[in-house]
Amino acid sequence: MRLVVIGGMGAGLSAAARARRVDSALEVVVLEGGDTISFGACGLPFYIEGRIASLDELSIYTPDYFRRERNIEVRTRARVQQIRHSSRELLLAGGERLGYDRLVIATGARPNKTVLGSTPPPNAFTLNSIEDGRRLKDFLENSRPRRAAVIGASYIGLEAADALRTRGLAVTVYEASGHVLGREEPELTTTVRDELRRAGIELLLNTPVARVNDVDCDLLVAAAGLLPNVEEAAQAGVQVGATGAIAVGDNMETSIAGIFAVGDCAEARHIVTGRPAYFPLGTTANRMGRVAGACAAGARERFAGIAGTAIVKLCGLDIGVTGLSLAQAAKEGFHPVSSRVKALDKPKYFQGQPTTIELVADRQTRRLLGGSVLGHEGVLGRIDVIAASITSRLRVEEFEQLDLAYTPPLAPALDPLLVAAHQLLKLLD
Amino acid sequence: MRLVVIGGMGAGLSAAARARRVDSALEVVVLEGGDTISFGACGLPFYIEGRIASLDELSIYTPDYFRRERNIEVRTRARVQQIRHSSRELLLAGGERLGYDRLVIATGARPNKTVLGSTPPPNAFTLNSIEDGRRLKDFLENSRPRRAAVIGASYIGLEAADALRTRGLAVTVYEASGHVLGREEPELTTTVRDELRRAGIELLLNTPVARVNDVDCDLLVAAAGLLPNVEEAAQAGVQVGATGAIAVGDNMETSIAGIFAVGDCAEARHIVTGRPAYFPLGTTANRMGRVAGACAAGARERFAGIAGTAIVKLCGLDIGVTGLSLAQAAKEGFHPVSSRVKALDKPKYFQGQPTTIELVADRQTRRLLGGSVLGHEGVLGRIDVIAASITSRLRVEEFEQLDLAYTPPLAPALDPLLVAAHQLLKLLD
């Protein structure tokens, strides 16, 4: 019995490792098209900024580690050209054929390069692969650009903008929509725009850029979202969902039995809406991989879904989101109500700073639907508490009574989360 | 209709404020025996240390604020000597009588002073009131003691030890039991003892001290726990529970209808055991106060209970606990199993430091029962996520799939909480 995993990044490797643990007799092979496995693309902006010295630090594991420690064969430069499911075999570049019994597709995603056109100029970049990172860093060091344009106020786009600003460039971010980070939340967008401006980054909202030449800059980074790599899967007859990513069930199996899909190429069920969503994030990828690996090895597990939790540090401000914003909740058919409060993250006498919390709940069920946290300390923990509470389907009155920790050097006696909950309860009554 | 609240600290004031919001026509009177209201005793160690310049910073509100902004009469130096429930009146020191329709008892707790004997020496202190803080600070500045003894490895005891060490004193902590912070968790105790020792504080476990004279020191702080102030309530016929604190229902009402009890003088239902417990903490006090205030004003609310969540910063190490430890869970009749992992709190390339997480679950229901987190960053947020998950009665497989936030400057892709959950799942299978 052989399990083949296509893709050697987080999702694929999680699947392989989990399958091995569930069934020690299973043959597990991972095929990676590039040279490197286990590469954390989330670290690229910090490499560009100069906080991470070497790209090597972003790759946690080697093929050798998997072979030696996990009894998993990991092949690099093994590019899959075709999935021939009728004969249960893969056609690799170079002509080799490799049979499989179970298949996990973890082909990831690629940056949307539409804006770059068919022949991108040498000063245009994306920021997704090791090669991307190397090229951009070289360009920065050799060409000494002074003005940068970033296309897309996505996570990677804004992190890249921050990194370039830190290196001394004048940065302008062009965003086609009216909001940042894919979050329809006007106050959050305004705060982020103001903070970026204070730090010297210009953010232009509702400003689509059709072609590279339309913007005046020495350096351009295209960060207008990711496109899932679904071509080989679709060609093999695997169903692609409405989001454009591969449709999967709760066990991560695709429309074809025995073929699983995980990570940035796959959809996932959203915990709040119950519908498929596309959130290409590393954390989600790892969790999907674990479930697919277990199921591909014969165990029964289900993926609990995603809450859309994310966090980003921009110009010293931490911004966390989870679940749905008010606008998103309304579009999804809820009857949402939201509270937005500003409260100190620590007692005044410990130099507490304001943190801003938005909580969204459904008027009918009184359940929490989402939230955002902006501040300087404790943002990670607070957005995680909201995420856990959404997952647990807590009502606002239950959330309001959470027994949260308190000590003056770290938090105020009444946590900002509970201040926001009190405010929301008043609106619900 | 008049509501009288006995006690002008957090619990009492929360009750008064909430009652006012629920019923704007209610007459609300708060009686405080001392000079000051709304005093945060949790700040005292930091005043001793010198990080807080003035005790005034620890009192958030004034009687005047409550009168002006909330239409609540707050009287200081109004000491209640007797509750005469048959005639629905209070007898105050000085002879005044004050009638009530509803009563909230928020009389707080006092330090256990057994070790100090009947005539405490002038170099012996407790750390609970403004006066305590002032006396100890004066002694430190005038008598220049060099060797301090702290009786009790309680939160306040260890914080006091840390504060005294910071001021340059040689500190020894004497703890009668075999564990610290009231948490039966051997590894936690060992870690705390080692960290204290590294910082220069000697912690002697299983070392009861009968009398002040038994220890050789220039200064002694008694911090061997709090005793609830229940005397007036008990005399009035209010039932006291097995913990020694006032027994209450989920609406905070005592055994006598119309009399409520909140804060450090009252028990609360423990979320995990379902049984009454005594955790005199500021956060709990506030939440209890809100519920009692609402119910005393005629609303229907119930207190969700306590998880025993607490956090302390000691010698640079943050220590958070919630729910039950393995030993406590076994004593409570569960069939507990626990995992203890050490994982980086951020990626290596962002100078992540080890954080230690223990998770406890019940083998039969697979529900989380408790946990502890020790580390240097993110401890508050992680203990709060465990607390929220315990409250939501999450099973380990649900906890393991929480959609937690990730960005390299703040957290690793696989959060230490989830590493601990993976480990625990292996033990449950």
The stretch B291-319 carries a mean pLDDT of 97
CATH code 3.50.50.60 region(s) in chain B: 2-34+76-109+227-296, 114-224
Q: What pLDDT was estimated at residue A415?
A: 97
Could you tell me the fold of the domain covering B2-34+76-109+227-296?
FAD/NAD(P)-binding domain (3.50.50)
In the three-class reduction of DSSP (H, G, I as helix; E, B as strand; rest coil), residue A45 is classed as helix
CATH of domain A2-38+55-109+227-296: 3.50.50.60
Contact across the interface for A405 and B307, Cβ inside 8 Å: no
The stretch B68-96 carries a mean pLDDT of 97
CATH of domain B316-428: 3.30.390.30
Shortest distance between the Cα of A312 and any Cα of chain B, in A, equals 6
Q: What pLDDT was estimated at residue A12?
A: 98
Q: What pLDDT was estimated at residue A178?
A: 98
Q: What pLDDT was estimated at residue B221?
A: 98
Asked whether residue A335 carries a pLDDT value surpassing 90, the answer given is yes
Asked whether residue B404 carries a pLDDT value surpassing 90, the answer given is yes
The stretch B356-382 carries a mean pLDDT of 98
The stretch B123-137 carries a mean pLDDT of 96
Asked whether residue B301 carries a pLDDT value surpassing 90, the answer given is yes
Q: Which of B42, B217, B265, B295 is catalytic?
A: B42
Go through chain A and tell me how many residues it has: 429
Q: What pLDDT was estimated at residue A302?
A: 96
Test mutation, A158, A287, A404, A425, chain B, max B CBs within 10 A: A404
Q: Give the pLDDT confidence of A103-143 residue by residue, as tens digits.
A: 999 999 999 999 999 999 999 999 999 999 999 999 999 99
The stretch B14-24 carries a mean pLDDT of 97
pLDDT band at B364 (very low <50, low <70, confident <90, very high): very high
Shortest distance between the Cα of B117 and any Cα of chain A, in A, equals 31
- The A residues from 290 to 349 touching B (CB cutoff 8 Å) are 301, 303-313, 318, 320, 322, 347-349
Shortest distance between the Cα of B247 and any Cα of chain A, in A, equals 20
Quick check: ipTM above 0.90?
yes
CATH code 3.50.50.60 region(s) in chain A: 2-38+55-109+227-296, 114-224
Q: What pLDDT was estimated at residue B68?
A: 97
- Measure CB to CB from residue B414 to each of A286, A378, A392 and give the nearest one: A286
Domain A316-423 has CATH 3.30.390.30: yes
CATH code 3.30.390.30 region(s) in chain B: 316-428
Nearest CA in chain B to A382: B381
Q: What pLDDT was estimated at residue B429?
A: 83
- The B residues from 245 to 274 touching A (CB cutoff 8 Å) are 271
Q: What pLDDT was estimated at residue B306?
A: 97
Q: Give the pLDDT confidence of A27-36 residue by residue, as tens digits.
A: 999 999 999 9
What's the whole-number average pLDDT of chain A? Answer: 97
pTM greater than 0.95: yes
Q: What pLDDT was estimated at residue A429?
A: 83
Find chain A residues with C-beta within 8 A of B383's C-beta. 405
Q: Give the pLDDT confidence of B28-38 residue by residue, as tens digits.
A: 999 999 999 99
Q: What pLDDT was estimated at residue B418?
A: 97
Q: Exposed (0-12), middle (13-18) or buried (19+): which is A330, by Cβ within 10 Å?
A: middle
Residue A351 touches chain B, beta carbons under 8 Å: no
Could you give the C-alpha distances from B158 to B109, B242, B319, in angstroms and in order?
19, 27, 12
The stretch B226-233 carries a mean pLDDT of 98
Active site residue B42: yes
Alpha carbon distance B262, B240 (integer Å)? 13
The stretch A205-223 carries a mean pLDDT of 96
- The B residues from 118 to 157 touching A (CB cutoff 8 Å) are none
The stretch B104-130 carries a mean pLDDT of 96
What percentage of chain B exceeds 90 in pLDDT? 98
- Measure CB to CB from residue A401 to each of B304, B381, B397 and give the nearest one: B304
Could you tell me the fold of the domain covering B114-224?
FAD/NAD(P)-binding domain (3.50.50)
Go through chain B and tell me how many residues it has: 429
Handedness of CA A279, A281, A285, A288 (dihedral sign): negative
- The closest alpha carbon to A420, from A351, A338, A350, A345, belongs to A338
Alpha carbon distance B173, B196 (integer Å)? 10
The stretch A412-423 carries a mean pLDDT of 96
Q: Give the pLDDT confidence of A72-83 residue by residue, as tens digits.
A: 999 999 999 999
What percentage of chain A exceeds 90 in pLDDT? 98
Asked whether residue A60 carries a pLDDT value surpassing 90, the answer given is no
CATH code 3.30.390.30 region(s) in chain A: 316-423
Q: How many CB atoms lie within 10 A of CB B162?
A: 26
Asked whether residue A239 carries a pLDDT value surpassing 90, the answer given is yes
Residue B411 touches chain A, beta carbons under 8 Å: yes
